[in-house]
A and B are shown apart, each in its own frame.
Chain A
Amino acid sequence: GAVVSQHPSWVICKSGTSVKIECRSLDFQATTMFWYRQFPKQSLMLMATSNEGSKATYEQGVEKDKFLINHASLTLSTLTVTSAHPEDSSFYICSAAYSDGGEQYFGPGTRLTVT
């Protein structure tokens, strides 16, 4: 149980375009989802926390207007990278938690390449 999926698994887009990444909890309801970014040979960096039906909370230094997060239901959160640039190329990973104090379950990640 506790499976999280992401779509797409990889995407290539041109500079200036927007890209949407979906994160779904397949077999449980996730009140809270988290978005991370990971550059090559680096650790995961928390970008934002999203709760169903409310605005996301962004970590310091993360541009909320550039990384739009929507958590429309208990099983779906989306991250939209707007006006993407090559420096946004990274591995984006989501996670979901379904209970107070429970561990986070991670998706397989989405590799974004901006050309």
Chain B
Amino acid sequence: DAKTTQPPSMDCAEGRAANLPCNHSTISGNEYVYWYRQIHSQGPQYIIHGLKNNETNEMASLIITEDRKSSTLILPHATLRDTAVYYCIVRSRGGFNKFYFGSGTKLNVKP
């Protein structure tokens, strides 16, 4: 079962930063936070993941609060192609543990 809560939708102006929040208040110490996105009628695309430190890659930054009960995905300069449903997933460390998707956030990037 999904262990995350996300707002159903958000709007963002093109070129601005998109900040997508996720609540995972029941996360355990050995659980990672993963972010994926799904563009309409396609398979989900991996974005980033982290355990407790902030992470950054070429796509996005992940900020995890000190108590690890919430996180924020940051797309620094959103483009129209970033319009998608973004999923925050909590996954146990090690092993081929499963992903249980929540309802996600529909990000609408507007010109």
- A residues near B46, Cβ cutoff 8 Å: 103-106
Shortest beta-carbon distance, B44 to chain A, in Å? 5
Stretch at the interface among B21-29, B68-76, B93-101: B93-101
Chain B interface extent, by class: 20 to 34
* Known contacts A43-B87, A100-B94, A103-B49; A108/B43 CB under 8 A: yes
CA–CA, A92 and B38, complex, Å: 14
- A residues near B93, Cβ cutoff 8 Å: 101
- A residues near B44, Cβ cutoff 8 Å: 44, 93, 95, 106
- Whether the Cβ atoms of B45 and A101 lie closer than 8 Å is no
Does B103 touch A at the CB level, under 8 Å? yes
- Whether the Cβ atoms of A108 and B103 lie closer than 8 Å is no
Taking A46-B98, A49-B98 as known contacts, 20 extra A-B pairs with beta carbons closer than 8 A to each other, sorted by chain A number, are A32-B96, A44-B44, A44-B101, A46-B99, A51-B96, A93-B43, A95-B44, A97-B96, A101-B95, A103-B49, A104-B46, A104-B99, A106-B36, A106-B43, A106-B45, A106-B46, A108-B42, A109-B41, A109-B43, A111-B41
